[in-house]
Every structure is written in structure tokens, then in C-alpha cells.
């Protein structure tokens, strides 16, 4: 019978990465306090309560999904930058990119009466074109207890290498049961889905996901957190949201203006300094040369 491995925040990162690569999912228990969760919910509950139910079976007709959280919630920003999770992202994603990015920030409330979501892979956001790489690492932070009765996420440990057409048997599906303040961590390749809520209370989780910096984000962060809001964020978070070069010459922009008024190609971080478009090196100095070296080393040249 499959099961989900539980870790403590102090446990070895290497051990967590090993399980993520083999099983595709794990739980880290009691990462943040109930007081932290209360503060986060005080910031986000008004937006959640104003959010309508989904309009199709996949998003959930008794489920609400509330985004735009970088701009709306300082406590969400703290979780996006959680050092342990970013350390897992470093180890799990940087083999495939020079920089990863925030892909999605969304509070998912599964309400009583919601049926189980179809089992799927999150990487299908890009279709089935990326079978050769792992494009993302995902988290769901428990803002309520997650139980088998109230909609704890269904997950199929070890399914990361399955064919996209393979469907799990009931005995291969387990539930991500955890206490408030814990976090479910899972890859973009593991099969999973929201659970049925047969209880009389909401199951609330904060879904924060990270993807390779050269892929399009599921939540358009530049519209959810436009420059006039993003300029007040910490620099590291600005870069994580996407106000940075994804690779050498990947993500620059040309500021609008009169002929000769601005530089033709500038770093996206320039967008956070209104009226100032000083030239900047596109990407990290030496990044292109390092990339070429990596390619040559892999090819044996």
C-alpha cells in the first residue's frame, strides 16, 4: 500500500529531494504556527469570501480559487520566500534552468459537497510537450486541517514516470492528510487531484508553485502584480515574481517613448523604476558564456 512520507522542518534536505524524485510528493509537518496562519487568513479571507465558485468540473463548482496574492498578502509573500522550500527548488529545478520563478499563488477552498477533482498532472498546463524535463515544484500550505473526509489532496506516489494516458487504480491513491501549518510538496509530474469534501466545513489550502524561468507562468504575475505594486517588494521577491532575466537575453523589454528617449533593450527590473531607463546588462554577466560551456561539456567538445 503506498503512503506519503512525512518530514520535520529540521530533516535533511537531501532526504526530501530523494523522496521527491522517487515518489513525487511529501509532507513537511508543522512548518508555520497557527498564529501565522491566523494572520495570513485575516489578510486573505475577505478576498476568498468574495470569490465565486468555479464554473466547470475541473476548477470545481463548489470550489473557490483566489489569486493575486503577492499584492494582497504580506504573509503569503513570506511563504513564497520560505527558505526551506526555496532550497528544495534550488536542488530540484536548477538542473533545468538558470533561474526559476513564481508560477502561481492561489488559495483553494474546497467547500462541502465538492466532488473529487479528476486526477491530473500540473505540468499539463503546458500540454504534454515537456516530458523530458521536470518543469515545476509545487506546494499546498494547509490553512485548515486536511483530512480524508474534508478534501485532502489525492496523490499517486511514484507516478512521475507513468505514461500520460495511464490511470491509477483506487488502491494506488493516497490522501495528503496534514495539520494546519504543514505543507504538501509535490512535483509537476506526480498524478494528483483535489479530494471530495464530505464534511460540513471548508478545506482551505494555499497553493504556491514554482516553474522554470524560461516557461510562461500559469498566473500572469506582471498583470497580478504590475510594476507600480511590484516596486515596493523586496528585490529577491521582485526577481522571483519575474522582474528579472530568465536566461541570457530572455525577458528584456523596450520601453515606450519618443525616438532615442530610452534604451532599446533593458532588464525587466527597469520597469520598477518609473521614468528611469538606464542601460543594464541583459542577464547575469557571463551567463551566456557559462551556458555555452555547459552545452559543450555535455556534448564532449
Q: Radius of gyration (Cα) for the chain, nearest Å?
A: 20
Q: What does the longest C-alpha to C-alpha distance in the chain come to?
A: 67
Spell out the per-residue pLDDT of the chain, length 301, in tens. 799 999 999 999 999 999 999 999 999 999 999 999 999 999 999 999 999 999 999 999 999 999 999 999 999 999 999 999 999 999 999 999 999 999 999 999 999 999 999 999 999 999 998 888 999 999 999 999 999 999 999 999 999 999 999 999 999 999 999 999 999 999 999 999 999 999 999 999 999 999 999 999 999 999 999 999 999 999 999 999 999 998 888 999 888 888 888 888 889 988 998 654 444 444 555 555 555 566 556 655 5
Domain 6-212 belongs in CATH node 2.60.120.620: yes
pLDDT at residue 149, as a whole number: 98
pLDDT at residue 285, as a whole number: 53
Q: Measured between alpha carbons, how far is 114 from 200 in angstroms, rounded to an integer?
A: 11
pLDDT at residue 131, as a whole number: 82
Residues 6+ apart with CB under 8 A from 111: 53, 62, 63, 64, 197, 202
Annotated domain spans of the chain: 6-212, 250-301
- Using alpha carbons only, what angle is made at residue 90 by residues 87 and 94, rounded to the nearest 5 degrees? 175
Burial group, residue 275, by CB count within 10 angstroms (0-12, 13-18, 19+): exposed
Residues 6+ apart with CB under 8 A from 27: 4, 5, 6, 7, 176, 178, 182, 183, 184, 185
Amino acid at each position: 500500500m503506498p503512503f506519503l512520507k512525512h518530514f520535520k522542518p529540521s530533516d535533511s534536505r537531501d532526504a526530501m529531494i530523494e523522496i521527491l524524485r522517487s515518489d513525487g510528493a511529501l509532507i513537511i509537518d508543522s512548518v508555520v504556527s497557527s498564529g501565522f496562519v491566523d494572520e495570513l487568513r485575516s489578510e486573505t479571507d475577505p478576498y476568498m469570501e468574495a470569490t465565486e465558485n468555479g464554473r466547470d468540473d475541473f476548477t470545481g463548482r463548489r470550489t473557490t480559487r483566489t489569486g493575486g496574492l503577492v499584492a494582497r498578502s504580506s504573509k503569503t509573500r513570506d511563504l513564497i520566500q520560505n527558505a526551506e522550500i526555496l532550497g528544495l527548488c534550488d536542488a530540484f529545478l536548477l538542473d533545468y534552468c538558470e533561474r526559476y520563478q513564481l508560477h502561481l499563488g492561489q488559495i483553494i477552498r474546497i467547500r462541502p459537497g465538492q466532488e473529487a477533482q479528476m486526477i491530473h498532472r500540473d505540468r499539463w498546463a503546458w500540454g504534454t510537450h515537456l516530458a523530458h524535463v521536470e518543469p515545476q515544484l509545487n506546494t499546498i500550505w494547509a490553512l485548515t486541517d486536511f483530512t480524508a473526509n474534508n478534501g485532502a489532496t489525492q496523490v499517486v506516489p511514484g507516478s512521475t514516470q507513468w505514461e500520460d494516458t495511464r490511470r491509477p487504480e483506487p488502491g494506488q491513491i493516497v490522501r495528503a492528510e496534514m495539520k494546519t501549518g504543514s505543507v504538501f510538496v509535490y512535483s509537476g509530474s506526480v498524478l494528483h487531484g483535489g479530494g471530495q469534501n464530505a464534511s460540513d466545513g471548508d478545506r482551505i489550502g494555499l497553493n504556491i508553485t514554482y516553474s522554470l524561468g524560461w516557461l510562461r507562468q500559469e498566473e500572469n504575475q506582471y498583470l497580478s502584480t504590475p510594476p507600480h505594486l511590484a516596486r515596493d517588494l523586496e528585490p529577491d521577491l521582485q526577481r522571483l515574481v519575474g522582474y528579472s532575466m530568465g536566461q541570457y537575453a530572455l525577458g528584456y523589454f523596450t520601453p515606450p517613448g519618443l525616438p532615442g528617449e530610452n534604451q532599446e533593450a533593458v532588464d525587466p527590473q527597469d520597469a520598477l523604476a518609473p521614468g528611469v531607463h538606464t542601460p543594464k546588462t541583459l542577464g547575469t554577466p557571463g551567463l551566456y558564456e557559462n551556458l555555452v560551456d555547459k552545452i559543450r561539456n555535455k556534448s564532449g567538445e
